[in-house]
Structure 1
Amino acid sequence: MPDPTVEVTSFMSTSVRYERQGDVGVITVDNPPVNALSQHVRQGLLDCLAEGLADDEAKALVLVGAGRTFIAGADIREFGKPLAEPDLNGVISTYENATKPVVAAIHGTALGGGLEVALGCHYRVAVAQGKVGLPEVKLGILPGAGGTQRLPRVAGVEAAIDMITTGKFVPAGKALQLGIIDAVVDELIPGAVAFARKLVEDGAPLRRVRDMDEKVKAFDAAKLPEIRKQVVKAARGQMSPVGCFDAVAGAVTLPFDEGLKNEREIFGGLMASDQSKALRHIFFAEREALKIPDVPGDTPTLPIRQAAIIGAGTMGGGIAMNFANAGIPVKVLEMSADALERGLGIIRANYAATVSKGRLTQDAMDKRMGLIEGVLDYDALKDADIIIEAVFEEMDIKKKVFSTLDAVAKPGAVLASNTSTLDIDEIAATTSRPEFVIGTHFFSPANVMPLLELVRGAKTSYQVISTSMKLAKTIGKVPVLVGNCDGFVGNRMLEPYVQQGELMLVEGALPAQVDGVLQRWGLAMGPFTMGDMAGLDVSWRIRKRRAATRRNDLFWPTVSDQICEMGRFGQKTKAGYYLYEGGSRTPVTDPKIEQLIVEASKAAGVERREISEDEILKRSLYALINEGAKCLEEGMAIRASDIDVIYCFGYGFPAWRGGPMFQADLIGLDKVLADIKQFHADLDDRWKPAKLIETLVAEGKSFADYDRSR
């Protein structure tokens, strides 16, 4: 039965509608799934506001979002295209200058343009679960509809700088403390309508955020240079955080309208930048990776109500935390009580550290620990819907585990291996149900790193693939489906990348030089710092396993092997390529290793030479690109953008660089191919160009074109 207090007026659109509840008009944005501010929504906002202002029965107006959220931001599909009227700045200005009180009612998220629209309203309320934020920095731009000018006027300058330069979300309670919202309400529309009605009764002013200068005037502008230095340092080469800061600084130093103009000028420069193009590429690539061409979107998934992990080591414990964090009960199996208690203790310590930093409550920690049960017998896993093996990276050990699981696991259980290199089909062959076997390559630390490489075997069923993709999202991971080959996609590409680094050591470089070039370019760390962090013994074992397949006519560097033979495995032994003093994770150059490298050059008969930064960068980056192209040729990666997702979410490749394959397109595949051919001529056969690159260049195409052709 319709609510008798709701009167629907003559105006109705497909995306924005106007209704009235008594003497309060309600404007509802209904543009699923997240009420993005597409052109028709912007026009609807103007039309419905005009309808509300013309409605003599409406004394105040409420703006609300239908569905699960308020307005989650701009329509990213419109970015980089000619601006379609009405412009969002004009829409916000019209709301700000409305002649009746307008209250934004926030639930879900008010992000980007959504929060900017809310800041254009006279007042804002939210339910307790609501969140607000201006995350445009993550797309390489800044809030371009007055967010950098209005947020400092309600939240204060330093809080606004923090929110806008990092893109972090703020929950309703914190938003109330900061002054971003004016009240927290129990029920969204009834609470907002009551709030609006009270404004009318009290004769509250039509308060415009643009006129609220108290907080920006109270801020000491002399602090700005030092804060900017901190933002530049934290940005590590990314332009948009610095652009965001400069725009917010304009709110302090310029009148409002000039600050808006300054914001738009900075916005335009950032929008046209390669960094923003890269970040938008990764945004869409992450979503595209969920689409598997041969797996129908409506493939039914298996229920995952109970999980089990075999192995309570670093990886096993981290994987278990992912399930507990998602509210899924998980059993952790170990072969001895001591190993089990040690593993559970590490999980407990990890959670306690998060609690101590204020990022998790003690009650939440207790609930998550309560979902993790340690067991000592395989029979305890018989009810699990998914069992993930996370034991030592040795084929014989894994095959023995899966043979046991085949006898214990219930019919229909997903059997997964957390392997980083090993053959999934060989593992699956030890079971009577290879269609239920899949690779789940988590990245260390598994409770932190977002990437999950899902490895399909020759017989892995569509249902298991679909279930695993869905489960990955449930436990907070970014999944990418890859093919079954040695190292899959990520680690397969990593091998020639690391190898080039080691070859350059023998030729004349030093670890800190190579790492420094790549870190300054934007990588989280270079190959030698990365090796020390991951554990040099891990790759050492893999190299020994692969030694029989190496080409005898190529020179293979031995520096890393020699370091491992010294018992130096990286951070965990406080020494690897670098020294780690007093438990610190900061690498310190070790003269012993530099001397070892010089001696390795002599032993190989190589006269050391100066290696330029340009050569270091190209040999490192192009090794990734060339091997990535081979992964595409062989169908190990579905699309080039999947490779970019793998590297940005799993290997510390800066998202603002867009991934190695995006970089190849940006540089120009013809230029990349020319350099690869030169390396092939000057160095060795490791640089034989991938056929795909040669084909694309010959056809005048890019990796992006290849994506579209699939």
Structure 2
Amino acid sequence: MAEVVKLERHDVVATITVDYPPVNALSAAVRGGILRCMNVAIADPEVKAIVLTCAGRTFIAGADITEFGKPPQPPTWDEFMAVIEDSPKPVVAAIHGNALGGGLEVALACHFRVATKNAKLGLPEVKLGLLPGGGGTQRLPRAVGPELAVKMIVGGDPITARDALKSGLIADIVESAPAGGQVFARKVLTERLPVGKLRDDDSKLAAVKADRSIFTNAVASMTRRARGLEAPFAAAEAVGAAIDLPFEDGLKKELEGFNKLLGSDQSRAQRYAFFAERAANKLEGLPEGTGPRQIERVAVVGAGTMGGGIAMSFANAGVPVTLIESTEEQLKRGLSTIRRTWETSAARGSIPADAPAKRMALINAAVGLSNVKDADLVIEAVFETMAVKKEVFAQLDKCAKKGAVLASNTSYLDIDEIASVTNRPQDVLGMHFFSPANVMKLCEIVRGPRTAPDAMMTAVSIARQIGKAPVVVGLCHGFVANRMYDPAFKQADGLLFEGALPDQIDAVLTKFGMPMGPFVMGDMAGLDIGWLSRKDRGVKSEISDALCEAGRFGLKAGKGWYKYEAGSRAPIPDPDVERLIDETLARLSRKRRAISDEEILERMLYSIVNEGARILEEGIAARPSDIDVVWLYGFGWPVYRGGPMYWADQVGLKHIADRLVFHAKQTNDPSLEPASLLKRLVVEGKLFASLA
């Protein structure tokens, strides 16, 4: 292996540089290299100060999590950190890019920290179902105070260099990491700045020791949305140890919590999800050397809910976008909604006060499709009917420049049929964003049979650029997300006809960890949309239809499957709905029966897994983990359960197959019969994971 850590001397300042692409992860080799270079620099009488920095695009962006759960490799963490913290010569961490997890913990062991203005610093271990295990829960509260430490450790989100400077986490903002670090090291020497260890400085703990409510309120705020998760609460307990215990005892408490979480089912699932998202970025089977096309200008056609949300996603990422509508009135309405959404976020403190104006300035509003002429990527987000989509794409074919990628935001329709009205089917694909598009992270990239490889790469690249989790999927009705959701909703609908009530079904799903059940979701989306779609297709669903015929269209109407108080989004079970269900069942000569929560869970979730097996068998998804990413980011599947295919492996495929057979017989529903791939895996004693 090439040398991953190098030592250079610049007069009296020694610079230790980590060069371990892509993110300078803190592997055993990196730790060993830093330790070796530190010992050499400390022993050199000519060296008076040491700078720790990194080559490439980032500082140490975290531990090497591929080493988690494996026998420890030398040097030990304690030995490695002690040589930095106990150095008789001042050590300056010079940070650029991201200093995350173990990277920030190393920087906290240094005596000083400086960072470039675009740097981010954080301890995101909770997102892997862990807590910082290298002293982060003990040193960070001493660096920034327990209140901010709770926000960073329990919440897991990084802070900017500006906020780091304000809090005292860094001593200065510099132009470049190596040079700025060296300049600051010389300043330490010439100005004889006091050199101390964070472990010995309890000054920022004093206020919380005097008033414990500062800490408990911060914890309550950061764990409010941590339903079902173990790590945030364990992390909060470890930060509490920094307040209550001497440093060494606090470290022991931290390590106990880390080791307990490391072996937990939740952390294993969350680490799996971490790697699943990264695997989804890998496109298999592309010609060697395929890269994305250059995207300088983006246009979104349609300023409704989806189009407006997509345009916001680009502006949120600082990417200019042209938003196009067919009339001035529709355009103004869309822009007004976008502005109002951002202003509400700013009022809540979710985004800076000046963000709405800055982001609105990135949206160029225009009327008419001729305005796509300069766009390298055009995303269509108009009404979800094939006729309308074809009409728009026929015009895009005439107006868009040669080589532009033309993407449809369709959630169900045939991309190849849409492409057929153009003379450039190789440039056409799907980019299925999820609603609200400015919030939801998933973007299904739908490849048509004639979509060019570089067009696919372009869609994946731009989705990542705007902070989405792209997953490439094949062409079928509903692709992966909605195709898998449909059988689950079919079961939910069927359960109503057998005696279950909407609030019971929804409660089973939310207890499992889903953010909401199918009936709350329907109310949020608007029940009239599905009603109109069923009418167009000549399909009936007597209970749902009766609900809509009674004017119960969901949240916007103040009543749907639930009722809603004015100004509230909280669903309230409504006796009128139960009465309507009873009347419908009586009309159909059906009797209600008692249905267990277990049956609801099995019929809904096992049907999702079963459809996932069919999707894998057909090659619509490349990997089981791709399906899991779709569900994690498209429907809010609880991350501590890893995704439906991962979860199925943990439950046991034989058990799932057996229960599907049972429910298929009980309900006379052939769609519940196990998929052939599921049956084959059971016979072979394999898991979905074996398909990776």
Q: TM-score range by the shorter chain?
A: over 0.9
Amino acid at match of 2:456: I
The alpha carbon displacement at 1:544 in A equals 4.1
Partner residue of 2:6 out of 11, 17, 24: 17
Encode CA deviations 1:405-445: one digit per residue, 9 max, x unaligned. 22222222222211111111221112222221111111111
Encode CA deviations 1:359-417: one digit per residue, 9 max, x unaligned. 44565543432332222222222222222221111111111222222222222222221
TM-score, reference length from structure 2: 0.95
The alpha carbon displacement at 1:322 in A equals 2.3
Alignment check: 8 A CA contact 1:99 1:206 kept: no
Please say if 1:492 is aligned against 2:480. Answer: no
Alignment match, 2:628: 644
The alpha carbon displacement at 1:218 in A equals 3.6
Alignment match, 1:46: 35
Amino acid at match of 1:430: V
Alignment match, 1:88: 77
Gaps of 5+ in 2: none
Partner residue of 1:697 out of 674, 678, 682: 682
Partner residue of 1:333 out of 324, 333, 354: 324
The alpha carbon displacement at 1:41 in A equals 0.2
The alpha carbon displacement at 1:258 in A equals 1.5
Please say if 1:291 is aligned against 2:275. Answer: no
Alignment match, 1:3: none
Alignment match, 2:497: 506
C-alpha RMSD of the superposition? 2.0
Please say if 1:140 is aligned against 2:118. Answer: no
Q: Structure 1 residues 131 and 215, CA, compared in 2 at 3 Å: closer, same or farther?
A: same
The alpha carbon displacement at 1:490 in A equals 0.3
Alignment check: 8 A CA contact 2:154 2:219 kept: no
How far, CA to CA, are the matches of 2:137 and 2:568 in structure 1?
38
How far, CA to CA, are the matches of 2:271 and 2:520 in structure 1?
29
Partner residue of 2:145 out of 156, 161, 174: 156
Please say if 1:464 is aligned against 2:455. Answer: yes
Q: Structure 1 residues 305 and 229, CA, compared in 2 at 3 Å: closer, same or farther?
A: closer
Alignment check: 8 A CA contact 1:399 1:427 kept: yes
SS in 2 for 1:581: coil
The alpha carbon displacement at 1:75 in A equals 0.7
Partner residue of 1:532 out of 505, 523, 540: 523
Amino acid at match of 1:235: A
Alignment match, 2:381: 390
Answer with 121-130 or 663-672: which moved more: 121-130
Q: Structure 1 residues 379 and 200, CA, compared in 2 at 3 Å: closer, same or farther?
A: closer
Encode CA deviations 1:26-49: one digit per residue, 9 max, x unaligned. 111111111110110000011000
The alpha carbon displacement at 1:286 in A equals 0.9
SS in 1 for 2:225: helix
Pairing of 1:267-286 with structure 2 (within 5 A): 267-286=258-277
Encode CA deviations 1:519-578: one digit per residue, 9 max, x unaligned. 122111111111111222333344445556xxxxxxx85322222223322222222111
Encode CA deviations 1:649-679: one digit per residue, 9 max, x unaligned. 1111111211111100111111111211111
Alignment match, 1:320: 311
How far, CA to CA, are the matches of 2:177 and 2:36 in structure 1?
23
How far, CA to CA, are the matches of 1:304 and 1:274 in structure 2?
42
Answer with 641-650 or 259-268: which moved more: 259-268
Q: Calculate percent identity across the aligned residue pairs.
A: 51
Answer with 599-608 or 582-591: which moved more: 599-608
Q: Number of aligned pairs? A: 689
How far, CA to CA, are the matches of 2:339 and 2:457 in structure 1?
32
Please say if 1:31 is aligned against 2:20. Answer: yes
Amino acid at match of 1:704: A
Pairing of 1:364-375 with structure 2 (within 5 A): 364-375=355-366
Alignment match, 1:175: 164
Alignment check: 8 A CA contact 1:89 1:146 kept: no
Gaps of 5+ in 1: 1-11, 549-555
Answer with 439-448 or 512-521: which moved more: 512-521
Partner residue of 2:663 out of 647, 661, 679: 679
Encode CA deviations 1:20-77: one digit per residue, 9 max, x unaligned. 1111111111111111101100000110000100111011111111122111110121
Alignment match, 2:597: 613
How far, CA to CA, are the matches of 1:545 and 1:638 in structure 2?
33
The alpha carbon displacement at 1:217 in A equals 4.2
Q: Structure 1 residues 305 and 226, CA, compared in 2 at 3 Å: closer, same or farther?
A: closer
How far, CA to CA, are the matches of 2:246 and 2:326 in structure 1?
69
Alignment check: 8 A CA contact 2:155 2:222 kept: no
SS in 1 for 2:272: helix
Alignment check: 8 A CA contact 1:398 1:427 kept: yes
Alignment check: 8 A CA contact 2:96 2:176 kept: no
Pairing of 1:96-107 with structure 2 (within 5 A): 96-107=85-96
Alignment check: 8 A CA contact 1:503 1:557 kept: no
Pairing of 1:466-485 with structure 2 (within 5 A): 466-485=457-476
SS in 2 for 1:143: coil
Alignment check: 8 A CA contact 1:148 1:244 kept: yes
Alignment check: 8 A CA contact 1:630 1:692 kept: yes
Amino acid at match of 2:522: G
The alpha carbon displacement at 1:232 in A equals 5.0
Q: Structure 1 residues 562 and 693, CA, compared in 2 at 3 Å: closer, same or farther?
A: same
Please say if 1:670 is aligned against 2:654. Answer: yes
Please say if 1:343 is aligned against 2:366. Answer: no
Alignment match, 1:553: none
How far, CA to CA, are the matches of 2:163 and 2:588 in structure 1?
62
SS in 1 for 2:589: coil
Amino acid at match of 1:73: G
Partner residue of 1:521 out of 509, 512, 534: 512
SS in 2 for 1:374: strand
The alpha carbon displacement at 1:111 in A equals 0.6
Q: Structure 1 residues 297 and 214, CA, compared in 2 at 3 Å: closer, same or farther?
A: farther
Please say if 1:567 is aligned against 2:567. Answer: no
Amino acid at match of 1:675: R
The alpha carbon displacement at 1:177 in A equals 2.2
SS in 1 for 2:266: helix
How far, CA to CA, are the matches of 1:270 and 1:615 in structure 2?
31
Q: Structure 1 residues 230 and 341, CA, compared in 2 at 3 Å: closer, same or farther?
A: closer
Encode CA deviations 1:166-199: one digit per residue, 9 max, x unaligned. 1011112211222222223344333322322233
The alpha carbon displacement at 1:212 in A equals 1.1
SS in 1 for 2:566: helix
Answer with 698-707 or 202-211: which moved more: 202-211
Answer with 33-42 or 291-300: which moved more: 291-300
Pairing of 1:210-221 with structure 2 (within 5 A): 210-220=199-209
Amino acid at match of 2:126: V
SS in 1 for 2:379: strand
Alignment check: 8 A CA contact 1:644 1:660 kept: yes
Alignment match, 1:127: 116
Q: Structure 1 residues 390 and 158, CA, compared in 2 at 3 Å: closer, same or farther?
A: same
The alpha carbon displacement at 1:452 in A equals 0.6
The alpha carbon displacement at 1:227 in A equals 5.7
Encode CA deviations 1:586-614: one digit per residue, 9 max, x unaligned. 11222211211222333343332222222
Alignment check: 8 A CA contact 2:347 2:353 kept: no
Alignment check: 8 A CA contact 1:231 1:242 kept: no
SS in 2 for 1:425: helix
SS in 1 for 2:365: strand
Alignment match, 1:596: 580
